[in-house]
Chain A
Amino acid sequence: MMFTYYPGCSLHGTAREFGESLQGICKALEVELHELEDWNCCGASSGHALNEKLSIALAARNLIIAERDERDILVPCAACYHRMKVAHKTLQQGFDRTMGEHYSGRNHVVLAMDLFSDRDILARIAERVVKPLKDLRVVCYYGCLTVRPPDLTEVKDHEYPQHMERLMGQLGAEPLPWSYKTDCCGGGLSLSRPETTDRLIRTLYEGALEAGAEAFVVGCPLCQVNIEARQAEIVREMGKGFSLPAFYFTELIGLALAIKGAEGWLKRHMVDPIFLLRSKGLL
């Protein structure tokens, strides 16, 4: 399996552990990644908030460069993925002429979470699990753009998806049912208006506790940072003594496959998961 890899800006910064763990598991599972030549920012939510055409053009430049090769494009971040899918569709509707380029659209844009919950790769993972994540009780948190809108993501059960749960089951963890898996974390608003988004994180925290979870599992850098970075204050306000870490699903695959370097990824969390993992004998 071979992909053009579009890391996106946050995997170079706040979500380094997502990038490192993704590359680690790809190597172990024989998924070859070729970083996209001279990729640029997809425009994120600020692009489409202020300027429709520019937002398409920014994402489109990447897709046009990627057409030099005949490989699907693997995107880890849900926000980048959404913008790329929108651009992929708009380019095919004639926006490529506006860009002064030709775009065939033959390469698919694939979300990392979808790739690793696909049946074939699940089977490959199952063969190689050496350290099942026994007794690790998690809630899978999809957020918005990994599942919505279904006409772009092709996720049929977008109100109550199950694919991350299947992956977690395969790794030996215990995914718990809960009601908030596709609720919003506030996205980028947590940076400009945190006072309006903290209550969303609080809802997620309470929901996860109520379900009996020890951790969240996520597939989006913005969800991860919002959940972990904003929890300290929320937990203090609520008078609770502890926060729940949010793992990238890639980190958990890495742990179950006993890939070297996992501790390095986990060290970067704002909510320290090391104690939890040690107490389960997973580190």
Chain B
Amino acid sequence: MAQKKSQHEHVVVPDNAFAHRVRKKTGENVFQCYQCLKCSTGCPMAHAMDILPHQLIKEVQLGLREEVISSRTIWVCASCLTCSVRCPNKIDIARVMDGLRQMAHARKGRLGDELVPLFHETFLRSIRGRGRVYEIGMLMNYKFKTKQLFRDIGLGWRMFRKGKIRLLPSRVKKTKEIKDLFNKFRGV
């Protein structure tokens, strides 16, 4: 693991085992990155990140697993693919973000953001139950869990008045098929 430091406190001993795991999971070879910064320059969510995309790639190269896995960056990445299509070395950075999010979520430790992963879980549970997402039910559930029941309530009311909120959820007929997929692939 990269956490082993040399006698000099701030020197990181590179360890590429983590990068190989990332490659196995995502198919992306982070060693092709030469730190041109193009990904970070065009990233619309950079303002909300604790590590910029090019830094994150560098940290994967070095094997700084903990820093990367517990970062806020992986959760506030909007999966917009701007970085992936611009990388001169064709690294699909958004795919790397996905892989890291999945690893972080699977290991059950502290996550770099609470609200975003909780939203994803609530969303997936909504699919598990009905096969489709019942937007308003899912959102109420999320707001309840995050104790923000009254945030954006005016917005909710305006949407209701515009007929954007369905009162009855729609669902698939064969909900068992959906449950089977969740069980087979170990979804939430």
- Asked if A47 is at the interface (CB within 8 A of a chain B CB), the reply is yes
Given A57-B185, A199-B47, A269-B162, do A189 and B76 touch, yes or no (CB 8 Å)?
A: yes
Minimal beta-carbon separation of B88 from chain A (angstroms) = 14
If A54-B182, A193-B48 touch, whether A14 touches B101 (CB-CB below 8 Å) is no
Are A192 and B133 neighbours in the complex by a CB distance under 8 Å?
no
Chain A residue, CB-CB nearest to B118:
A192
Question: Please, which residues of chain A bring their CB within 8 A of the CB of B1?
Answer: none
Q: Does B14 belong to the interface (CB within 8 Å)?
A: no
* Residues in chain B near residue A85, CB distance under 8 A: none
Distance between Cα atoms of A277 and B152 in the complex (Å): 29
Complex Cα spacing A12 to B166, Å: 8
B44 & A183 in contact (Cβ 8 Å cutoff) = yes
Nearest-neighbour CB distance to chain B for A24, whole angstroms, equals: 16
* A149 CA / B121 CA spacing, docked (Å): 26
Whether B102 lies near A144 (C-beta < 8 A) is no
Residues of B within 8 A of A268 (CB): 162-164
Minimum CB distance partner of A186 in chain B: B78
B residues 9-28 touching A (CB-CB < 8 Å)? 25
Q: Does the CB pair A49–B120 fall under 8 Å? A: yes
CA distance A158 to B42 in the complex (A): 15
B44 close to A270 (CB less than 8 A): no
Instruction: Mark the stretch among B30-38, B51-59, B63-71, B123-131 that contacts chain A.
Output: B123-131
Would B76 and A51 count as touching, CB distance under 8 A? Answer: no
CA distance A48 to B165 in the complex (A): 26
- Chain B interface main SS type: helix
Check if B155 is an interface residue, CB within 8 A of chain A: yes
Interface contact tally, CB-CB below 8 A: 160
Does B115 touch A at the CB level, under 8 Å?
yes
Decide if A238 is an interface residue (CB 8 Å cutoff): no
Size band of the interface chain B makes with A: 35 or more
Q: Does chain A have a CB within 8 A of B159?
A: yes
Chain A, 74-109, CB within 8 A of any chain B CB: none
Interface size on A, residues (CB 8 A): 51
Q: What are the residues of chain A within 8 A of B119 when measuring CB–CB?
A: 46, 188, 191-192
Chain A residue nearest to B163 (CB atoms) is: A268
- Scoring B residues 146 to 171 as 1 if CB is less than 8 Å from chain A, else 0, what string do you get? 00000010010011001111100010
Q: Does B136 contact A (CB under 8 A)?
A: yes
Q: Cβ of A38: which chain B residues have Cβ within 8 Å of it?
A: 172-174
B78 to chain A, nearest CB (A): 5
Nearest CB in chain B: distance from A143 CB, A: 8
A279 CB within 8 Å of chain B:
no
Tell me if B136 and A13 are in contact (CB < 8 A). Answer: yes
Give the Cβ gap from B178 to chain A, nearest Cβ, in Å.
Answer: 6
Instruction: Tell me the smallest distance from the CB of B48 to a CB of chain A, in Å.
Output: 4
Q: Is A39 an interface residue (CB 8 A)?
A: yes
State A53–B102 Cα separation when bound (angstroms). 11
What separation, in Å, do the CA atoms of A148 and B131 have in the docked complex?
27
Interface flags, B89-131, vs A, CB<8A=1, else 0? 0001000001101100100000001011111110110010001
- Which A residues touch B118, using CB under 8 A? 192
Q: Is A9 an interface residue (CB 8 A)?
A: yes
Residues from chain A with a CB closer than 8 A to the CB of B136 are: 13
In angstroms, how far is the closest chain A Cβ from the Cβ of B35? 22
8 Å CB contact of A148 from B82, B124, B135: B82
Extra A-B contacts (14), CB below 8 Å, given A48-B98, A144-B79, A193-B115 = A41-B132, A45-B79, A50-B187, A51-B124, A52-B25, A57-B184, A58-B181, A61-B177, A148-B80, A148-B85, A149-B92, A192-B116, A196-B47, A268-B163
Q: Could you name 23 residue pairs across A and B whose Cβ atoms are closer than 8 Å?
A: A9-B133, A13-B165, A14-B159, A14-B165, A38-B172, A40-B172, A47-B127, A49-B101, A51-B186, A52-B99, A53-B185, A61-B177, A144-B81, A144-B82, A184-B44, A184-B45, A187-B78, A187-B80, A189-B45, A192-B119, A196-B45, A229-B155, A269-B162
In the complex, the 10 A-B pairs of residues with the closest C-beta atoms, listed nearest first: A192-B119, A184-B80, A46-B123, A46-B120, A196-B48, A54-B185, A54-B187, A148-B81, A40-B131, A9-B133
